[in-house]
Structure 1
Amino acid sequence: MMDDVEMEGMATPSGSSSIGDAVSGRGPQSGQSDTNEDEDDLYYIPERRPSLDLGPTPMDTSHWHFVDHAFPPALSYKSMTSEENLSNMDDEEGSSTRVQLNKADSYSSCYSLDSDDCEKIIPKVKSKDDAASELPDTPELIQDPKEIRHPSLTVAFTFKAISKTLGKLSEGDFRRFKMMLWKHYPQSFNTPPQGMDMVDLVDRLLERHNLESSLQITKTLLEEIGQKDMIDYLKTLCLRNEVRHDLCETLKTIYSEVCEDSAEQGEKMPVDDVFTNLSITTTCDNGPNIEHEVMTIPKLDSNQKTGKLLFTKDILSAERLEKSHLKFVLITGMAGSGKTMAVRRLVLDWIEERSHQHVSFLFPLTFRDLKKYEGSKVSLLEIIRTLYPATTKLREEDFQCEECKIMFIFDGLDEYKGELDFHNTSPVSNHSEPVPLNVLVVNLLRNKLLWRGLFMVFSRPQIKRCVPWDMHYDEIDVRGFRDEDKDEYFKKRFKDPVQAARVIAYINSSKTLRIMCHLPLFCSLVADEYQHIFKEQRPRAALPSGITYMYTKLLLALARQRRVFRAPQQSPDKERDFLMKLGKLAFSMLEKGKFRITKHDWKDVDIDIEEAVNDSGLCTQYLTKPFVLYTENSISFIHPTMQEYLAAFYVFFSYRNQGKNIFEQHLKDKVKGMFKGHKTMELYKSAVDRSLLCDDGKLDMFLRFLFGMALKTNLELLQPFCTSSVKCSTFIEDAAALIRKKMGENQYPDRKSNLQRCLEELGV
C-alpha cells in the first residue's frame, strides 16, 4: 500500500509541471453516455501563467501582465468536513447532498480557485490526438445503451448506497479507494481527492458520472482493493431498492384509494382525502363509549387508566422498539372503530416515506386473502410471493438479515375460523416450509416464523383469547374519532364548505348523532346518505330529522359484513332469529338498567358469545376488575344507544310478526294477539305509558327508536326482517295524536321533552 508521499507523486503525471496540466490532459471518458461524453470534453484548463513579478520597489507597473477575469463557476460548493457532513446533509436546501437531485449527472466547473490561480475556462477544440491523452489504465465501463434504467435508481439512493458501502471500509481501505479513483479518473478531479471526506467524494463522483457509471466505478475500484464483500453489499442494496420500489407500486394500487360507500359500490377517493386522525391509545380493555344523551352511565369497571394517545406512525416506530423491544403488537377495536382505515394509513405512510422507515419491506396480509389457502399446505414465503410477485427477487438472506427489517400487518384475524391450538401445534420456524394454514397462523402468533420480523395484528377484541398467555406483546386500542376529528372528517368528505357546514350543524343538532360519530363507520354512513340527498334532490334539500334511520343503516352495514365475510352460509331466517334473541336480551337488560353483560346473563338466551361479539359486531368484549385481584370477561353492546335500538327492534317485530305486545304481561294467547294485530297504536300506547313511569329516562331513547321504526323509510330498510304484511296507513297521524294527548295531560311535566323528540322522530 502506498503512503501519502507516493500518492502525491502520482498526482502529477510525468511531463507535467502542475496539477492543472494533469487535469487539462483528460481525454474522452469511456463508459459515459453519449450526451455527457461531448459535454465532458468541451473545456480544458490551460497551462498556468507565470507568477506576477511586481518588479523593484517602488512598484513598477510596467512589468505587469494583463490578466482576464475568470468565468464564474457553474456551481458553488461550501466546504464540508467529515465531522459536520451529517448535519449539513440535512440542512442543505433543495437536496440531501450538494448534488442536484433532479439531474442524473451534470457538468460542474467548480474548481478550487486560489488567489494566484484564476484560470479562464477556454472552449476546447477536439482533435484526433485527444484519445492519446487518456490514461491507459482507466478501466472500461461497460454499459448497454439499450438497457432501461430501473426507476428505483435515483440520485438520492445512489448517493446513500455508495456512501453506506464506503462507510464500511477501514481508514486504510478508504485511502486506497481514493488513490485508485485519482489514478484511473483524474479527469473527474481538479485536485487529488485525498483531502476529501466521503460526502465530498461521492458528490464529485455523481457530478462527473451518470448513476450507472458511478455504481460501476465503485464496484470496479472495490474489486481492485480486494473488497469483494463490499461489492456484494452494494449489489444487495441495489436489489432491495428495486424490490422495494416494485412492492410500493403494487401496494399503491391496492391501498391508495378507498371506497367510503359501505356497500363498496361508490366512487373511490384518495385515502388522504378522507383519512382523519384516529384515537389510538396505549391502554386496552377500555370498554365501549358510554356517553349518553339522557342518562349518566357509570364506568363499566373497565380500564380506569388514561392511556397515551398515539398516531399510526407511532405504533411500531423505531423509538418504541428501542424502548420496549417488543416486536408483536395486537391492535384491537370494536366493529367500525377504524382499524382498516389505520392499516391503509400505515401502508401509505411507509410507501411515501413518512413513517416506519427503519423497515425495509412491509407486507399487509388480510385474512380474507389467506382464506383461499384453507385445506392446503402453504408456506409464508409462498404467500408473500403470490400476493407480491416483486419479492421473488429476494433471497434467503434478505429474510434473515438484521439490517433488512420486515414488517407484517395482519388485518382481520377475527375473520379467521380455523382451529388455533397453541398447546398441540408443533412449532415451525422455517418460513419456506409448507404447513396447514392453522399451523402457520399459530406460529405467526407465537412469533416463531421470521423471529427478526415485526408483526402487527388488527382484530376485534374477542380474538384476544387466541393469543397465548406466555406471548410477549404490546396491546393498543383503536377508539375511533375524537370530537375535533368528527368535524374534520366531514370537511374532507364534502368538498363544498357550505354542504360540510350543513352536515356538521345537523349532526350537532342531535347529541346522540354527535356521540355516535365516534365510530368512523357511522360517520361514513351519515356522509353517504347526505351526499346522496344533495346529489339526487338539490343542494339545499332538507335533511332528515330522526335518528332511527341512521341506526338502521348501521345495523344493515354490520349485518352485510357478517353475511359476506363471517357467515356466508347463514339463512335470512337464522339472521332474523339471532337479532330477535339479541334484542330480547337488550330489552331485558334495559328494564333492569344494566349495560354490562356478564356470563350469567347469557343463560336465558341461546346465543353464542363469539357470534354476538365477533361475527355480528354489535357487541364488544373487555376485561373488568370488580375486585382488586379478580378479573372478569365482560361484554357490552358497542354503545348504550345500540342496546336501546335493538330493544326497540325486538319489541317492534314481536308485535309486527307475531302479534305480541310484550308490555301486556297477561296476554298469552297468540291467536288473540294476531286478532289485535291491526291495532298498532295499542303497542305504542303501552310503550309511552311505561316510558313515562321511568324517572331516570332509561326508556326514552328506546321509545324514540320504536316510533321511528314504523315510518315508511325505515320499514323499507327493515323489510327483510318482516314476515307480516300488516300496514297502518294512518300511523303517523295516530301516533302524533297520541303523543300530543299525553303532552296535554301534563301528568309527567319532566317527560315532555322526550315526547317532543318522539314527534321529531315522526317528522312532525
Structure 2
Amino acid sequence: MMDDTEMEALAMSLDGSSLGDAASGRRQWSVSNEDDEIYYIPERRPSLDLGQSLIDTSHWHHVERAPSPALSYMSMATDESTVETGGKDGSSTGVQLDRQDSYSSCYSVDSDNCENIILRAKSEDDAVSETSDTPQSIHTTNEFTSTSLTVAFTFKAICKTLGKMTEGALRTFKMVLWQRYPQSFNTPPQDMDLVDLVDRLLEFYNLDMSLQITKTVLEDMGQKKMVAYLQTLCLRNEMRHDLSETLKRTYSEVCEDVDMQEKKRPFDDVYTNLYISSTCDNGPNIEHEVMTIEKLNSNQEAEIRLSTKDIFTPEMLERSNTKITLLTGPAGSGKSMAVRRELKQFEGSQLSLLQIIQKLYPETEKLRHEDYRSEDCKILLVFDGLDEYNGVLDFENTGLVSDVTDLTTLNAIVVNLLRGKLFNHGLFLITSRPQVKFRIPWDTHYLEIEVRGFCDRERDEYFHRRFTDPNQAARVIAHIKTFKTLGIMCHLPLFCSLVADECHHMFREQGTGAELPRSITYMYTKLVLLLTRQRRTFRAPDSSPDKERDFLMQLGKLAFDMLEQGQFQMTKLDWKDTGIDEKEAVNNSGLCTQYLIKPNVLFLEEVLSFVHPTVQEYLAALYVFLSFTNQGKNIFEQHLTKKLMGLFKGQRVMELYKSAVDRSLLCADGKLDISLRFLFGMVHETNLELLRPLCTSAKWPTVIEDAAALIRKRIRENHFPGRNNNLQHCLEELGVLTSEAASQ
C-alpha cells in the first residue's frame, strides 16, 4: 500500500489536477507553477439582457462544462444523442460516454455580477492527452443485473467491501474513481467519508452500474480479494432473494377449515403476534371460571415479553452467547402454522447435510462450499416440530460429523447439528413441545424461550383478521367473552381456529344474525379429537382406533382421580406409577405438558400437567361417559354390575347423572362443576355424533328431557344456592335455553 507522499506523486502523474479541474471535471495541464499564469481574467463584455433574474448568480463562475454524467437506464431511452449504445461489434453491452467541449448548464455564460474565469486554450499536447482521460465505458454485463438488488443491499455491499481496505488503499480508490469517472463529482472525493462516497455513487448511477464501477476500479487497483469479496456478497444476496421468493410461495398461504373445506388465505391476513416469554417452564395457564387455582410452583423469574422479530436480533445473540434457540410451548400455542415434515423423506439414507439442503431448496446450489464455513455467511436452519422426530438423540454414542459434505445418516446429522459440531457457524431455531428439551444433554448450550399463545388483545385481533366482515368479528368476540371458559381457552390459537371455523359455518348457513353455539362441550370435543387425529396420523401412525380409545380412557381416569383430589400437576416419579407413557401424553397427544418446578433453591423437579385445567376436567368427564357407555360402569356407584346396567340402561343413565350432580354439589370449591357441564353436554346429539367412534354401543338413549328435568328440580330445591349458576350452564350444554327452563 502507498503512503501519502507516494499518493501525491501518483496524483500528479495521473492528473496534475487543480481546483479548477475539480469544478470542470476535465483534465488541464499546468504551464506554470504560478497560479496567476494558469488563469487570466478578460475584459467584461456587455451581457445579454435576459430580463430580471430570479436566482442569485453572484457566486457563479464561468468555467468549461464538465463531461455529461453517465445516464441511468431510464434516461438512456430518452436521450440518444449523447449515448452510444453499441460497442465495436454493434452489441449493446456498454454505455460509452461522449465528452464534448461545451459549457455546463449549471454555470451562466457572461452573466451579470460574476467573475468570468476562463481557462487558457489547450495546447495540442493537451488535446492529445485529453483522450487518455476519457471515462471508461461502463459495461452493463449481467453480473450485477438482478432483481435481488436493492438500495439497502447495494449501499451495504459497497461500504463493506471498501471498509475492508486500508486507509491508503481507500485513498487510491478515490483517486482512481476520480480519474475514471470525474463526471460523478463536483470536487475530488478525497475528503469524502465512506458513507458520502457510496451515497454519491448511488445518487449518480443506478444500482448495477454502481456495483460495476466499484468492481472496475478495484480491478484497476489490482485488488483481486476485494473484487472476489464484492462478488461473493452479490452472489449470496441473489441466492437469499431467490430462496426468499421460494419460501414465500411455499409458506405464504395457510389452510383454514371453513365449512369442512380447506380454504387458503395469505399468511399475513391470518397471522397474529404471539405471547412469547423470555423465560421457560412457566407452567400452564391456570385461569379458571369457577375455581381459584394456586399458582403452580414453576418459573418465578421475571419474564420479558418478546415478539418473533426479537428472536435472532444481534443483541439477543450477544446476550445469550448461543446459536441454538429452542422455542417451546404446548400443543396449539402457535409454534407452527405450516409444518411440512420434510426430513422424513431422508430416513434410512446415506447423505450429507449439503445434499439435504440442496434437495429441499435448490436455490442454495449457488452457494459454494466455503460459504458454509464463513462466519459472515449467516444461515438459519429451522427444525419445526422436532418433537415429531422419531430418531434417537444419542449424544454419547453417535459418531462425530464436522463437514457439511460428509456422508452419514439423518440421525447423525441431527445429533451433530444440535451438538454444535456440524455447521458451527449456523443459527438454529427449534420449535418443539416441551418434552424434547429433556432429551438434550445438559452441556449443550441453548437459549430457551416459550410461546404462551394469545393474550386478550392478540386473541381479538385474530378474530378481526379471520372474519372479513367486521360485524361478524365483533359478534364472535362478544360471544366468547360472554362464556368465560371459552374466552380463557381461546388463549390457545388452535382453539381460536376451531371457534372461528364453527362460527364461519353458522354465519354461512344462517347469516350474520345466526345464533352462535353456546356449548363449550362441542368445542372441547373438537379440540380433543383433532389432537388425537393428528397423533394417529403424524406421531403414532401405528395406533389403531381401539388403542386410541384405550389411551384416552387411561388419561381420563388419571384426570378424574387428580380432579377429585384437587390436584393439577404430578411429579414425573408419580406419573410413572400411572403406566401412561409421558411421550404419548405430552408429545404425541398434546393434551399434557411437561416443565420444571423449583421446590427449593437448589433443586429442580420435572412435573407434568394437562395443558389447561379445563382440559383435565373434560377428559375426566369423557372417562365417566365412556366408562358407562362401553363398560356399563357408573364411576360414582362402583357396585353396579355390567349385566344390571344392560337390563335397565335407559333408567341407569339417569342414575349416572343424578349421582354426578349430587357429587358435584357436595364439593364446596366447585372442583367438579365444569366437568359436570361437559358430562351433560356429551348426551347432546351433535356431541354424541362426534364421540360415536369412541363408543362401542350402537345407540345411546335419549335422555335430554329427563336430564333437564333433573337439573330444574335441583334448582328449585335450592339446597345449594351458590351452585345454581353452574346448573343453569348445564342446561345450556343440553341445548335447553335457560329462559325456557325457568318457565317450566
TM-score range, shorter chain: 0.7 to 0.9
Deviation at 1:20, TM superposition (A): 6.7
1:646 maps to 619
Structure 1: how far apart are the matches of 2:117 and 2:654?
Answer: 103
Which residue is equivalent to 2:395?
Answer: 422
Question: Could you say what secondary structure the match of 2:481 adopts?
Answer: helix
Q: Which residue in the other structure is 1:169 paired with?
A: 165
Q: Name 2:456's counterpart in structure 1.
A: 483
CA separation of 1:625 and 1:164: change in aligned 2, threshold 3 A: closer
Report the 3-state secondary structure (helix = DSSP H, G, I; strand = E; otherwise coil) of the residue aligned with 2:393: coil
- Partner in structure 1 of residue 508 of structure 2: 535
Asked if 1:398 corresponds to 2:380, the answer is no
Residue 683 of structure 2 corresponds to 710
CA contact (8 A) 1:367 1:416 kept: no
Q: Are 1:371 and 2:344 counterparts?
A: yes
Once the two structures are TM-superposed, the CA of residue 151 in structure 1 deviates from its matched residue by: 0.7
Q: Is the 8 A contact 1:105 1:207 kept in 2?
A: no
Q: How does 1:316-465 map to 2 (within 5 A)?
A: 316-341=312-337, 368-465=341-438
> Using the alignment, how far apart are the partners of 1:297 and 1:223 within structure 2?
72
Superposed counterparts of 1:205-354, under 5 Å: 205-261=201-257, 265-341=261-337
Tell whether 2:155 aligns with 1:151.
Answer: no
Deviations 1:12-69 (A, max 9, x none): 789x9966776499xxxxxxxxxxxxxxxxxxxxxx9985757xxxxxxxx6434769
1:202 to 198, 202, 210: 198
Distance 1:204 1:103, change over 3 A: farther
Q: Is residue 678 from structure 1 mapped to residue 642 from structure 2 by the alignment? A: no
Structure 1: which amino acid aligns with 2:250?
I
| Other-structure match for 1:522 | 495
- Aligned position for 1:361: none
Question: Which residue number corresponds to residue 750 of structure 1?
Answer: 722
Counterpart Cα distance in 1 of 2:71 and 2:592? 57
2:11 is aligned with 1:7:
yes
Q: Secondary structure, in 3 states, of the residue corresponding to 1:623? A: strand
Aligned pairs for 1:488-507 (under 5 A) are: 488-507=461-480
Please give the secondary structure, in 1, of the residue aligned with 2:570: coil
| Distance across 2 between alignment mates of 1:104 and 1:762 | 75
Return the TM-score normalized by structure 1.
0.81
The CA distance in 1 between the partners of 2:271 and 2:23, in whole Å, is 60
Counterpart Cα distance in 1 of 2:438 and 2:549: 28
Question: Secondary structure in 2 aligned to 1:635?
Answer: strand
Structure 1 residues 263, 151: CA separation in 2 closer, same or farther (over 3 Å shift)? farther
For residues 572-616 of structure 1, give each alpha carbon's deviation from its aligned partner in whole angstroms, at most 9, with x where no partner exists.
Answer: 111111111111111111111111123454466432111111110
CA drift at 1:228: 0.9
Structure 1 residues 666 and 180, CA gap change in structure 2 (3 angstroms): same
Whichever residue aligns with residue 441 of structure 2, its letter is: P
Q: Which amino acid aligns with 1:542?
A: E
Q: What is the root-mean-square deviation of aligned Cα atoms in Å?
A: 3.5
Alpha-carbon separation, structure 1, partners of 2:506 and 2:644? 43
Contact 1:330–1:475 (CA under 8 A) maintained in structure 2: yes
Letter aligned with residue 282 of structure 1: S
Residue matched to 1:632: 605
Q: Deviations over 1:144-178 (max 9, x none)?
A: 59x99321133443333223222222222222222
- Give the alignment partner of residue 738 of structure 1, picking from 705, 710, 714: 710
| Alpha-carbon offset, residue 548 of structure 1 | 0.4
The letter of the residue matching 1:326 is T
Q: Whole-Å Cα distance in 1 between the matches of residues 572 and 138 of structure 2? A: 76
Displacement of 1:620:
0.4
**Per-residue deviation, residues 158-211 of structure 1 (Å, max 9, x unmatched):** 333223222222222222222222333334445444444434443444455444
In structure 1, C-alpha distance between the alignment counterparts of 2:315 and 2:566, rounded to whole Å:
45
Cα 1:302–1:6 change in 2 (3 A) is: closer
1:578 counterpart = 2:578: no
Distance 1:393 1:600, change over 3 A: closer
**For 1:111 and 1:594, how far apart are their aligned partners in 2?**
85
Structure-2 change in CA distance of 1:525 and 1:52 (3 Å): farther
Map Cα deviations across residues 330-386 of structure 1 (whole Å, 9 max, x no partner). Answer: 111000111115xx7xxxxxxxxxxxxxxxxxxxxx682111111112221111111
User: Distance between the aligned counterparts of 2:156 and 2:564, measured in 1?
Assistant: 68
**TM superposition shift of 1:133:** 6.9
Task: Indicate the SS of the match to 1:523.
Answer: helix
Name the CA distance, whole Å, in 1 between partners of 2:596 and 2:177: 66
**Match of residue 728 from structure 1:** 701
Stretches of structure 1 lacking an aligned partner (at least 5 in a row):
26-47, 55-62, 74-98, 121-129, 345-365
Task: Indicate how the Cα distance of structure 1 residues 572 and 139 shifts in structure 2: closer, same or farther if over 3 A, else same.
Answer: same
Shift of the 644–18 alpha-carbon distance from structure 1 to 2, 3 Å rule, reads closer
Q: Given residue 468 of structure 1, which amino acid in structure 2 is its aligned partner?
A: P
Q: Could you tell me how far apart the structure 2 residues matched to 1:138 and 1:397 are?
A: 36
2: CA distance between counterparts of 1:22 and 1:372?
Answer: 64
> 8 Å contact 1:663–1:686 — kept in the other structure?
yes
The farther-off stretch of 516-525 and 606-615 is 606-615
Which amino acid counterpart does residue 335 of structure 2 have in structure 1?
A: K
Separation of aligned partners in 2, 1:230 and 1:555: 60
Opposite residue 7 of structure 1, the aligned amino acid is A
What is the match of residue 733 of structure 2? 761
Relative to structure 1, the CA distance from residue 420 to residue 64 in structure 2 (aligned partners, 3 Å threshold; closer, same or farther) is same
Say how many residue pairs are matched.
Answer: 673
* Unaligned ranges ≥5, structure 2: 29-37, 57-69, 83-103, 119-126, 737-744
1:648: how far off? 0.7
Q: Distance in 1 between matches of 2:447 and 2:71?
A: 43
- Structure 1 residue 590 and structure 2 residue 563: aligned? yes
Amino acid at match of 1:736: A
Structure 1 pair 163–603 and aligned structure 2 pair: CA distance change class (3 A)? closer
- Give the Cα–Cα distance (whole angstroms) in 2 for the partners of residues 753 and 692 of structure 1: 12
Alignment correspondent of 1:553? 526
Deviation for aligned residue 1:447 = 1.1
Deviation larger for 106-115 or 295-304: 106-115
